[in-house]
Amino acid sequence: MRVLRELLRRPVSLFGTVVIAIVLTLALCAPWLAPYAPDDQLFEGLSLEGAPLPPSAQFWLGTDTLGRDLLSRVMYGARTSLLIGLVANGMAVTFGLLVGMTAGYARGWLGAVLMSFTDLMMAFPALLLAIVLAALLRPSLWIVALVIALVNWVQVARIAFTETSALVERDFILAERSLGAGHARVVGLHIAPHLISTAIVWGTLGIATTVLLEATLSFLGIGVQPPQPSWGNIIFESQSYFTSAPWLVFFPGIAILLTALSFNLVGDALRDILDPTQRGRD
């Protein structure tokens, strides 16, 4: 509750929290709130020349080139983009914490191997690596989530390694080990709880990166495949109509921008709130 109160007291994080709440509500309630099904091709959604219709009282965000309601597709696209963001980032944070804690606690040759592998992965451009992996595998929602997780765990692993390496030298850890505590007890009761705030902060910040990366892969045609809507493939399908029907690109682009910005704002605020070294610096 203290964290929530701190978030709501800060105007910037309050804005991010409200936007995230709205996007989550629209995504979860899309089957009931969307005026049409995302794949319904509506005859009245096209002009006499077969062109998409601009925003109007009937179609609030206009229609796309097949006469589908853009508002409905953006709302259903939020479900896809946020699902990938949560799943992919959850896997990335979990794997990164496991690698970082193992390397920081075990040290020796095992720690050196794990962190060398982490540094090797960090040397590859994340977007390029994601494009290669997505191109090699058959694109689908879960494959895209897996690909994004495989390129986003390294930063979490490096931070978890640094924090774990410092913790194992603390007096309370040395005292616990001198009393005969096993590795599982030390890690589970004394190290892992200290990394919860790190997991929360990076879990929030990482969703913004994940949403952007998913949109990029879908825009390039190697992410979520039509007819399943995502914000990235909505823009991909409409890119050639950017000048004649700019609303087809503008509205999903705004959704990506606001969502990524909001998660970044909330993540930055959580880092300040949960990190004791940041308190009193505002």
Distance in angstroms (rounded) separating the CA atoms of residues 200 and 189: 18
What backbone torsions phi and psi does residue 246 show, to the nearest 5 degrees? Answer: -65, -20
Ordered per-residue pLDDT tens for the chain, 282 residues: 677 788 788 888 899 999 999 999 999 999 999 999 988 888 777 776 667 888 888 889 988 888 889 999 999 999 988 888 889 899 999 999 999 999 988 888 888 999 999 988 888 787 787 888 777 777 778 888 888 888 889 989 999 999 898 888 887 777 877 777 777 777 887 788 888 888 888 888 888 888 888 888 888 878 888 778 889 888 888 888 888 888 899 999 999 999 999 999 998 888 888 765 554 444
Q: Which residues sit opposite 69 in a β-bridge?
A: 63
Q: How far is CA 88 from CA 93, 128, 174, in A?
A: 9, 17, 36
pLDDT of residue 184: 79
Closest by alpha carbon to 41, among 60, 59, 61, 65?
Answer: 65
Looking at CATH, the fold of the domain delimited by 2-29+68-278 is given as MetI-like fold (1.10.3720)
Distance in angstroms (rounded) separating the CA atoms of residues 138 and 61: 32
Q: How far is CA 188 from CA 78, 169, 182, in A?
A: 36, 16, 10
pLDDT of residue 48: 62
Closest by alpha carbon to 84, among 208, 209, 214?
Answer: 214
Question: Cα-atom radius of gyration of the chain, to the nearest Å?
Answer: 22
Q: How many other CB atoms are there within 10 angstroms of residue 31's CB atom?
A: 11
114's tokens? 């794990």
Q: What is the pTM of this model?
A: 0.85
Q: What tens digit of pLDDT does each residue of 165-209 get?
A: 888 888 777 787 777 777 777 788 778 888 888 888 888 888 888
